[in-house]
């Protein structure tokens, strides 16, 4: 019997449209949908978006929507009745392949839905470097396939891929893409991602993910299988505060990269960084890590307004 040759079918072949075919009404709808997503789900980032000029805001909301689609891949449930880990990972990797295909289409000047219409339009305006997206996608894939990080070097690379790359893409939107601003974005992204990790220790553990480096757990005498037992509480506090100082050092390195004139062009990034540093300060003062640290909407808006007034007045 002859073997059957399987031909891979493009899942989007019936919905691909050239960007040039999109009407102003189509683009306005796509932008509105990305804006609504940002308002509902962007959390700490949204308070930086609202002070940006319209064209820049459209670009960063499109970028956020794409990153959110990546988060949805990571958080998607498995499809098998048993929810077997292998099937779950395979399903997510297939979803990631589809997301990469949507990105390919954007870089070719096409779109298939509102997200890709907004992103394709933003690509035409801001000329995002594809390498940063590719590194981001590798980071998303890591979240599917890797659950432990033996060393901080391993974790640092992960943080660069899932956070610094987004900052580097944002530099095109801010109109400030220099060697100094790239160093700023890289360090700020790592500081913010480390803050996320410290904020979400319990939540990540419930998903069988431990981002705290194995070498650091060992340094503080903590067995990962007993991370939250009472006997570990003092050691866990010391470890978290030690890691928090490491995160703070990246924020400080970011600050040291700022040059005259960059405060104004990078003020949205400064808002994001300041909100995350406020979260980090709260983490440093905690003795338990069973729940996520959050700032109130009014606290985040106060931070955003203070920086916007400081740099824009």
The ranges assigned to domains in the chain are: 22-145, 147-313
Q: Tens of pLDDT along 239-284?
A: 999 999 999 999 999 999 998 889 889 999 999 999 999 999 999 9
Query: Could you give the CA distance from residue 166 to residue 160 in angstroms, rounded to a whole number?
Result: 9
- pLDDT band for position 193 (cuts 50, 70, 90): very high
d(CA 127, CA 148): 35
- pLDDT score of 11 more than 80: no
Report pLDDT for 125: 95
Two structure tokens written together for 208 = 């069988």
Question: How far is Cα 227 from Cα 177, in angstroms, rounded to an integer?
Answer: 41
- The mean per-residue pLDDT over the stretch 97-107 comes to 96
pLDDT band at 88 (very low <50, low <70, confident <90, very high): confident
The partner residues of 111 in beta bridges, in order of sequence, read 17
Tell me the CATH number for domain 147-313. Answer: 1.10.600.10
Do the domains 147-313 and 22-145 match in fold? Answer: yes
Residue 309: which H helix or E strand, with range?
helix 297-312
- CATH code of domain 22-145: 1.10.600.10
CA distance 247 to 252: 9
Which pTM value belongs to this model? Answer: 0.91
Mean per-residue pLDDT of the chain: 91
d(CA 252, CA 91): 40
122 pLDDT band (50/70/90 cuts)?
very high
Beta strands in the chain (DSSP E): 17-18, 110-111
Residue 205, Cα to own-chain centre: how many angstroms? 19
Q: How far is CA 218 from the centre of its chain?
A: 28
| Separation CA 288–CA 170 (nearest Å) | 34
Kind plus residue range of the DSSP H or E element containing 18: strand 17-18
Burial class of residue 21 in the structure, from the number of CB atoms within 10 Å of its CB (0-12 exposed, 13-18 middle, 19+ buried): exposed
Among residues 104, 92, 216, which one has the least CA distance to residue 143? 92
Q: How far apart are CA 121 and CA 20, in angstroms?
A: 10
């Amino acid at each position: 019997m002859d073997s059957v040759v399987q031909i891979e079918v493009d899942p989007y072949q019936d919905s691909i449209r050239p960007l040039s075919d999109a009407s102003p009404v189509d683009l306005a709808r796509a932008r509105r949908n990305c804006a609504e997503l940002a308002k509902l789900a962007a959390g700490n980032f949204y308070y930086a978006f609202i002070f940006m000029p319209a064209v820049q805001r459209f670009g960063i909301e499109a970028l956020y929507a794409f990153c959110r689609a990546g988060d949805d891949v990571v958080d998607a449930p498995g499809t098998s009745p048993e929810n077997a880990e292998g099937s779950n990972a395979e399903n997510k990797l297939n979803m990631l392949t589809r997301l990469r295909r949507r990105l390919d289409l954007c870089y070719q000047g096409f779109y298939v839905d509102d997200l890709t219409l907004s992103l394709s339009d933003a690509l035409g305006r801001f000329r995002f470097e594809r390498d940063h997206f590719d590194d981001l996608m590798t980071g998303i894939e890591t979240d599917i396939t890797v659950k432990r990080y033996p060393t901080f070097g391993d974790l640092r690379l992960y943080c660069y891929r899932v956070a610094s790359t987004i900052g580097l893409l944002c530099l095109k939107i801010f109109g400030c893409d220099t060697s100094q601003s790239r160093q700023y974005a890289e360090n700020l992204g790592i500081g913010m991602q480390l803050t996320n990790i410290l904020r979400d220790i319990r939540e990540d553990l419930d998903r069988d993910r431990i981002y705290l480096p194995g070498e650091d757990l060992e340094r503080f005498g903590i067995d990962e299988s007993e991370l939250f037992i009472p006997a570990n509480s003092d050691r866990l506090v010391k470890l978290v505060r030690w890691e928090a100082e490491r995160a703070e050092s990246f924020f400080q390195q970011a600050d040291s990269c700022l040059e005259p004139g960059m405060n104004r062009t990078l003020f949205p990034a400064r808002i994001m960084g300041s909100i995350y540093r406020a979260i980090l300060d709260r983490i440093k003062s905690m003795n338990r890590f069973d729940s996520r640290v959050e700032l109130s909407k009014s606290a985040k808006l106060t931070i955003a307004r203070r920086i916007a007034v400081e740099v824009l007045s």
